[in-house]
Structure 1
């Protein structure tokens, strides 16, 4: 049986003003998306890969319905809708009872950016979700479970069931052990998993994930990729994932798209698209070792502890020693939550060591 289409993108173009003014006095424009055509099926995970600046984020924002309308073209959502309460479901469920009010769901094709369909667009946006690029979008002073409860409150989830639902969502993203921790104290990978739990709380039919693991280490990124796939398959949720890292497509996607200079240049399996994307990348540079000067920073047995009544003692940095020399580029690498940010803040003078000298 052929897959049921969920989103059809037709001849989509997007222009933005360039800096400066054209010679005729009119604002010059730059084309960021150029004649994009793509179909995404219900429950399908599609990856979009391309170099920075190729238009990935603009495309995902247009699909989600935020920022400005496209210059031309269409994004059509194929859904079923309850005329009585506005509930949106997959079009494959047309003719079945609405899960909210019991009325019959009717098939409808929605030209998403047509101003006449603003009400339908709003209804659809309630059933889609977005993980922004390189931002954790959390309430930093709230506990983890409170962040998820806020998301449930946004969709008017029954208050008497909210605690149990929030706990279930945190279990899905493997964060039960961080439930009562304050969000700002989490590692980058943990924060991204809280963001995912908040988006899953919306019970989306479709998730737009813009560079969801771009700032994470490989081990933590693999965890998030697995969680995205599991959530999609468990909930029947479709997804579009943008990235400029080939590993994301290979691990998480059913199909992939190569975007270059605002144009789709190839559609295929993740393996085919990754091979096409990587074929012009070569590490041919010559590296020359430079002389460095004398040590200008010396860390000796650094220790940094954070203490909280309800969370106990956190050893963020534990017995770390090193020297940084003049003219030296000094790298710090480690898994998410390994102490890199805390150590950097001690070097910058933002945090004072609990023990040791710097």
Structure 2
């Protein structure tokens, strides 16, 4: 295939053959969804634990998939045309690089990377290979979130946005061992939803996090954060993953206040608007969205559509970096005792760190060619220009 072009023929109407990397709990969820999908089919599973991969495949009835420990080998043997990366965050970069250098587009589970520096490295890799790298921010794909976004658009200039997330999550494994299981594994969804709903971008953050004494998480399972947005509005966030009562939706409980009124979303099926002295409410199903896939199925649908059309999807790697920067900024602030962290500064520090740490000459050349991190993440998106040459070619 040619770098910089869609990996799937726009005329292709069959199920996209994919390799799923990661056979754990989340990998199993993806594989079960893919097994009945009309737009994609799992033809390979990659995991370092081959017995786990075989057991997972057998439990879903995937008897004919190719199983192995190498992304490139399994993709070649199975005829896969794309990769779905469902590994732990620390492995995302390695898997994404192996796939993209093998000429395969990738749909990667969130968070894209453990750090913004690593995320910038992956932007450079996308520039070099010309392959699509999309992040599965699956909580963008709910019909009532789209309704809420439309309603918020009627409020005019915004003053304040709040989101509360309180849940009791028992997920034995790496999540319960994380240093910041709330901010890294759940808040990244809510921060990304904030950007989607308002169209506003984060400027700075103050955050504190802690772990309640009864928590079953090793790291901080609770946090509050105050984000300054580019418009001048504020985003107030509060959350916990170990709250046994009055639990909110996984999508959080939202309020938005603007010059023309206020809007709310319960994170499920109730959107309310109070403006010009009247109250309206959207409750229940959204008729036009009955056949619209939700969650990870929604991520998959947009990924496949992008590959077939050449269009740039939501959360293409460049667009997702600021959602990750909100997470890293919040963590940095809490580690500084709640001090204000400016995200533009964090981005530039991350670019400097990425350049110093980089061992691949072609990636280092691209990173050094950027005039700033901000410029790097606003380079032409996938599908719009040919891939850069390995020397980092001029923009």
Higher alpha-carbon Rg: 1
Of Structure 1 and Structure 2, the greater strand share is in: 1
Q: Which has the higher relative contact order, 1 or 2, with Cα contacts under 8 A spaced 6 or more apart?
A: 2
**Which structure has greater helix proportion?**
2
